[in-house]
Amino acid sequence: MKKAKTIDKIATGVIYVMATVIVLILASLLLYILGRGLQYVNWHFLTSKAESFSAGGGIGIQLFNSFFLLILSMIISIPIALGTAIYLSEYSSNGRIASLIRTSIEILSSLPSIVVGLFGFLIFVINFHIGFSILSGALTLTVFNLPLLIRSIEDALRSIPNSQREAGLALGLSKYETVIRVIIPDALPAIITGLILGAGRVFGEAAALIYTAGQSAPPVDFTNFNPMSITSPLNLMRPAETLAVHIWKVNSEGLIPDAVAVSAGASAVLILAVLLFNLASRYLGNFIYTKMTGNK
Amino acid sequence: MHDSIKESLTMRSTSAKREFRGKFLAMFCTTIIIILVLSLIGFIASKGITIFVSDKVNIIDFLTHSIWSADKTDSQGRPLLGALPMIMGSFSVTFLATIIATPFAIAAAVFMTEISPKLGKKVLQPVIELLVGIPSVVYGFIGVSVVIPFVRNTFGGSGFGILAGTFVLFVMILPTITSMSIDALKAVPRHYREAALAVGATRWQTISRVVLRAGAPGLFTAVVFGMARAFGEALAVQMVIGNAMLLPQNLVSPASTLTSVLTMNMGNTVMGTTANNALWSLALLLLLMSLLFNTVIKYIAKKGTLK
């Protein structure tokens, strides 16, 4: 009897220690990155262009590229994900076709991102002759992002009680109209939370991009708004190294003398962006729901 | 005679038309996904089997030999392509990282579900969510600037190698395994615990003999998910593994993994050459492993559902 109690106490103690270790790991990770990197982050660092061989380069173009790629891939993937999620949650019965679709999504979501990147390289860069470009990168990120988006949107749609669907049908709306006018607005906060979480993942992704969006960031002229011009930031066909790819490249090539400073600063910016996405996903969904329904 | 009433009654309503269009759109999107997956597997497989078909490389040799140099040939004129160093590297970092991460992950899950759900929800849950969100290149950067010097000073060698890769992957897969383990333990019905406590079991006895047993299938799934993530991780590992295509001598000698070789060399080889095609075979191997992990997860889910 006594022995069992002693073991119980020891085991509880061990579990407490292990849980604390995990918290300590994260705390030290965050403190290290922010403590080491934030000292390099200033307006000059965030806006100036990167240097290839000398110190003092910034991350301006990379930062812009990251956001541009994120927005572009979201524009492509949201409609497809929404359509598939609607099909899965509203139309498909649990037959063979549904299980085929589910298996496809599971396979897609479990693929290593480097494999997705190589597929993008093979299809978009080489077979479609798009080359290393923002467009190739955005399409590849779409492949990478779709399974996650589909799953979160489908969960959001499924969490809406069936009485809402019945109410829509009872008013004489078709199934599709019910989905668009009743179910999606109701599920919107959860959908937005899922989208932002997906955005955070896309923002930090690098392995899928090194062979699709490329590893170089040619200078762009931020006053040039002609999307056909190669120096325009809006040009879809220019190679676009993102922030995450930049960190990898600076570290593995080590051609610039201040590699550690640049990657520390860029890591800090990346972490801050991810933290921001995380916070936003928590609050924005609720905020929009309150706005839409007028509830306090 | 033109009968407008009959026409409006037999015509398809606007609603029905919209319904048709909407359903068509949804099915169209779904078809895109299926085509995407099939073409992904198809394209990578067709590139990946090239060296076995046109260069007549033996599959067994490919998996068991340890010399990787596409420009040299053996006595039968076949290119020397032995992927064993990369396969060994991938499996060692994956297994070592999983072995270290699993106890921590399960301890954290037990803490959250059995010992202190309140503290767990307030502290541990956000910590794990944040850890999931940290991009892999940041882990790689920390690996280069913290783990490598640590390994070098403590265990000798250059610091680059399997041990460093293990440490980095440990932190990366920890949140994955933890959050799925939490779900697994939460799914264990409450009355199991109550029954155990009612017959006089201590909390630890309840946890170790009832909760962990009942949650075992879910915990296995969590571990396999973690392994799949570790196996497929590219950049963070590539930054700390040392990138030497040699059989690893010990844990601190430079090594390589399937992903690190792909990351490093895909850009340095010309499309269509044997050296390049051999890389696609590695990519195919990676794809097959990912499918295997997927199958294992499905199998566990099918066998182990709580009844």
Cβ <8 Å between B39 and A123: yes
| Per-residue pLDDT at B307 exceeds 60 | no
| Per-residue pLDDT at A296 exceeds 60 | no
Check: CATH 3.30.70.360 for B84-303? no
Cβ <8 Å between A112 and B259: yes
Q: Residue A179: how many CB atoms within 10 A of its CB?
A: 25
> In the prediction, which pLDDT does A83 show?
93
> In the prediction, which pLDDT does B51 show?
86
Q: Where are the alpha helices (DSSP H) in A121-258?
A: 134-158, 162-170, 175-178, 184-204, 243-253
Percentage of chain A lying above the pLDDT 90 cut: 33
Residue that the structure tokens 């190698």 belong to = B161
Digit-coded pLDDT (tens) for A20-41: 998 898 889 888 988 888 888 8
Per-residue confidence band for A52, with pLDDT thresholds at 50, 70 and 90? low
Per-residue confidence band for A295, with pLDDT thresholds at 50, 70 and 90? low
Q: Summarize the confidence of residues A136-161 as an average pLDDT.
A: 93
Distance from CA of A152 to the nearest CA of B (A): 15
> In the prediction, which pLDDT does A193 show?
86
Q: Summarize the confidence of residues B93-109 as an average pLDDT.
A: 95
Q: Which residues of chain A lie closer than 8 angstroms to B120, CB-CB?
A: 19
> In the prediction, which pLDDT does B37 show?
93
| Per-residue pLDDT at A107 exceeds 70 | yes
Digit-coded pLDDT (tens) for B219-272: 999 999 999 999 999 899 999 988 888 887 777 888 889 999 998 888 888 888
Residues 6+ apart with CB under 8 A from B30: A83, A84, A87, A88, A101
Per-residue confidence band for B306, with pLDDT thresholds at 50, 70 and 90? low
Q: Which of B141, B204, B259 is opposite residue A114, by nearest beta carbon?
A: B259
Residue B29, both tokens = 């999107």
**A274 interfacial to chain B (CB closer than 8 Å):** yes
Residue A39 per-residue DSSP state: G
Q: Which of B40, B41, B241, B296 to probe the A interface (max A CBs under 10 A)?
A: B40
> In the prediction, which pLDDT does B74 show?
76
Q: Which of A1-10, B21-30, B72-81, B275-284 has the lowest mean pLDDT?
A: B72-81
Distance from CA of A226 to the nearest CA of B (A): 31
Contact in structure between B138 and A247 (CB atoms under 8 Å): yes
By three-state DSSP, how is residue A95 classified?
coil
Distance from CA of B76 to the nearest CA of A (A): 31
Q: Summarize the confidence of residues A102-117 as an average pLDDT.
A: 91
Q: What is the ipTM of this complex?
A: 0.88
**A210 interfacial to chain B (CB closer than 8 Å):** yes
As a whole number of angstroms, the distance between CA A253 and CA A78 comes to: 35
> In the prediction, which pLDDT does B1 show?
63
**Which residue segments constitute the domains of chain A, with CATH numbers given?**
41-293 (1.10.3720.10)
Q: Which residues pair with B79 in a beta bridge?
A: B73
- Cβ within 8 Å of B, A 63-122: 79-84, 86-88, 90-91, 100-101, 104-108, 110-116, 118-119, 121-122
Q: Summarize the confidence of residues B60-88 as an average pLDDT.
A: 83
Digit-coded pLDDT (tens) for A214-254: 888 777 777 777 777 777 777 888 888 899 998 888 887 76
**pTM of the shown model:** 0.89
| Per-residue pLDDT at A56 exceeds 90 | no
Cβ <8 Å between B33 and A101: yes
Domain spans in chain B, listed from the N-terminal domain onward: 14-48, 54-81, 84-303
**A128 interfacial to chain B (CB closer than 8 Å):** no
Contact in structure between A149 and A84 (CB atoms under 8 Å): no
Residue that the structure tokens 């630890």 belong to = B204
> In the prediction, which pLDDT does A53 show?
67
Q: Summarize the confidence of residues B169-175 as an average pLDDT.
A: 92
